[in-house]
A and B are shown apart, each in its own frame.
Chain A
């Protein structure tokens, strides 16, 4: 009882008679970025002592997370704030899972459309309304082993891989890496997991100006040809022995980090892995750069982590204000989040000198101008239905078992059959 009184008194004193708001938080960040997010939550709690405290839980990424969100909303036990993938917002709206973030909300946060890149803002918007506050954008990039490239004579004076501007140039780089014999595979590719390869292949479609979905139809017009072109390039790399075959995600990262592969296409979220290995002295000289331009124009697939407020959560006005404060604080302090490899969505954070000096982020942050997001359909999004269809045909194609044209035919049929 005494203890209770002491706490009560202390909090009354500290918050000047204002009750402390507890904000229940769910996220799916369990990797190197999860560690950094926990650090940020601690910093937030310290900065808002006596006013707001975040009660955070980390759940399993993917289908388990989104299923739990759905059930919790249905029974009225949803958190106050949660992380979400912008690519899943169309499905979430369909499921009635999200509350709109009104212009007044954004005003309270001191943020608005002008603070974000147009593609990011568009990714959280549906029918003119916003359903999330973008925290970051996390595209895929090209990781490279500087030592291996130097040995193969394909490193520029600025320490970048040569041949990033054309298909021929990049093939030369792959060929040189193979000829130099310093690596087993010029490129580590997640060829056993079509879900992952969707990101690369969609980027290559974007480089030809292709679209996955046009007016509600999948692969309309000449888009099947563009998908086939993308698959053909990747299959050629496989046939030439440029990339690792039947390699799953962990094996891909392992092939690159232990020096068996010269380059790797992977998400920026692996940056902490590299930084930590380098700090332990267990990594070669490395870098990360925007994807090579294989076709006509640069384009990179990206997704955003956003903060969202679940539906069916009658929170008090004070609680909602606290949630908005959380969103605003994390956006304004997302410089630290960038150490997890992600590109902060907030333009003013991107503009700071500290961010401009941060490597390797500064090298690849130019790609924000060339980002493409998932098509806006309830069938899209990480761990969504499109993923399974793509994976089923990407895996045999990328490993040389299936003809790209046959794969495209099957994919078109199955996507439109959903």
Chain B
């Protein structure tokens, strides 16, 4: 049978067109617009005068940008690898359980993940509030000084990182569990016949076989934590907002508080490029380390 390729192409175009149109409208167009906006002295809404690269030039000497940049890096360092390790440890523990008990324990670790960020904020504020937090009464009982966790710059980032790991590691645990279940039992049986120690089993079997999942979790975490905003914003209410700035928070501040859409767009472009570079680097590193195995 002869195929009418021209007609097939036409049908293909027609079928793809709605997706391309929607993708172009809600993704490509705003992204391009953001780039254009970053070269303008624009308010939050509407366009402004073209100012060249001025919005970018002022970033290196902008103190708040500096704070935001380093805080974001600090936060990523505090959450990505530690969060992945915690999730791995939990999943290794959970996988040793079986039946109902396993489901129950898994559910307990997954529970925080389903909470909205506002509830997470309320729970931890209720715990850590300097005047009325239940943790503070615990410190009193132990005869220790109360700690204003979210009002000092020393404790702020580590505390928010801790809350973030507590909140989100349930999802990583699920990914790791799926990875662990995909490892054939026979390999472990063979290892135990050879009297391999538990550590060697982990080091030479579980860890390498689980590496693709670990790499996936690390990448997801990295991109997610670079875009951190909600928790930092909520816990900074009052407190010391300008010391706690992270990139997205600073974009929000410039755009919605200072009404400077152009300057906000410039920071957004920087973050956009940062995420692309880091994600690409991360991907290459993962591939390299995989090839070495």
Contact = CB atoms under 8 A, between A and B. Distances in A.
Interface in B212-251: 237-243
Nearest to B146: A246
B206 interface: no
Given A95-B43, A378-B259, A385-B258, A391 B131 contact: no
Given A70-B45, A246-B148, A247-B130, A414 B63 contact: yes
Nearest to A194: B238
A194 B132 contact: no
A251 B148 CA distance: 14
Given A74-B45, A255-B131, A94 B259 contact: yes
Greatest chain A CB density within 10 A among B131, B152, B241, B257 is at B131
Nearest to A255: B131
A246 B256 CA distance: 27
Given A74-B45, A95-B43, A399-B148, A63 B256 contact: yes
B129 interface: yes
Given A70-B45, A399-B151, A401-B152, A388 B131 contact: no
A392 B257 contact: no
Contacts, number: 90
Given A246-B130, A246-B151, A251-B129, A192 B238 contact: yes
A388 B242 contact: yes
Contacts of B241: 388, 391-392
Given A251-B132, A395-B151, A389 B259 contact: no
Contacts of A70: 44-45, 259
A98 to B, nearest CB: 14
Nearest to A66: B256
A246 B257 contact: no
Nearest to A417: B63
* Chain B facing A: main interface SS: loop
Contact of B130 (A245, A378, A379, A384): A245
A164 interface: no
Nearest to A392: B242
B257 A247 contact: no
A91 interface: yes
B234 to A, nearest CB: 12
15 contacts: A63-B256, A70-B44, A70-B45, A74-B46, A91-B259, A95-B43, A193-B239, A196-B238, A244-B131, A246-B151, A254-B131, A383-B257, A391-B240, A393-B240, A418-B258
